A and B are shown apart, each in its own frame.
Chain A
């Protein structure tokens, strides 16, 4: 079945409509849903785990869970909030599995992953013109990602959802299963920690 992607005159089906089709086993609807949300899901998991390879596996698992849950899915909450609750659960599980299995990435692995992350973003910044500027830019991105990775789990997810995924406080609170005031508090503490960790870059700007 060829679903409209939004480029044609017919509007693209919304997430709830896609979920209804997925519940009937429609693979094309599933592919469309993945394409629509892959950037935020994958990008969030990379920011949370710091490992692009592991992130692809976890992001795929997120979408497989969506497929399996489609038959029982009831659109009581916003789809995005529901989707990121799955992201949160899988990331937390992975984080705990790593902690139990002593699978925390080694410093060199972090460096490689961050190099990979920075390399993936190389073309995203047209401002970096000289090799020296590029190197500085890459170094700064590594420092930012390291500072985010060093935050406690809840603070990290709150920051990523707010800054990169543009979630409202209410949506973050729903994903983290906490109150709006607790979410604001998490973000405040995260901001203070990040300010302290990235002070040298703040002084330059």
Chain B
């Protein structure tokens, strides 16, 4: 941008805004209030972080305790139920056959 540029000249018609007459005094007052305060100790600076970490740990432990011991059982589908029924029938059949065998063994032992 050159000083003779019309845009350059136009921008000059909206000059920088002046600060408040008390700006310097207010800045010095803020310096006394903020910048000259002793720096917080390391513990105080880490306190918020450690508080968050502690809270997170508590939540994680609570979740593990509530869900870890009793994992939620999945709801069986109709196909699974039918499959289980077939297995149960088969086990019943085997049990019946076992009883017969036991009887036969008892007879044969006599």
Binding site for B on A (CB under 8 A): 27, 30-31, 34-35, 38-40, 42-44, 46-47, 52, 55-56, 59-60, 63-64, 67-68, 117, 120-121, 124-125, 137, 140-141, 144-145, 148, 159, 162-164, 187, 191, 194-195, 198, 201-202, 205
Contact = CB atoms under 8 A, between A and B. Distances in A.
B35 A59 contact: no
Contacts of B11: 144, 148, 159, 163-164, 194
B80 interface: no
B16 A43 contact: yes
A76 B9 CA distance: 34
Given A187-B1, A195-B7, A144 B31 contact: no
B35 A56 contact: no
B48 interface: no
19 contacts: A34-B28, A38-B24, A42-B18, A43-B16, A46-B16, A55-B17, A56-B26, A59-B19, A60-B23, A60-B26, A63-B27, A64-B35, A67-B31, A125-B13, A144-B11, A145-B14, A148-B11, A159-B11, A195-B7
Of the candidates A42, A141, A145, the one having the most CB atoms from chain B within 10 angstroms of its own CB is A42
Contacts of A55: 17
A62 B68 CA distance: 53
Interface string B1-44: 10001111111111111111001111110111011000000000
Contacts of A27: 28, 31-32
Interface of B: 1, 5-20, 23-28, 30-32, 34-35
A140 B14 contact: yes
Given A42-B23, A162-B1, A124 B15 contact: yes
A59 B28 contact: no
Contacts of A34: 23-24, 27-28
A63 B26 CA distance: 11
Nearest to A141: B14
B19 A191 contact: no
A121 B16 CA distance: 8
Given A144-B10, A198-B7, A52 B17 contact: yes
Nearest to A118: B14
Contacts of A38: 19, 23-24, 27
Given A39-B18, A198-B7, 4 more contacts: A34-B23, A38-B23, A56-B19, A64-B31
B82 to A, nearest CB: 55
Contacts of A120: 17-18
Contacts of B26: 56, 60
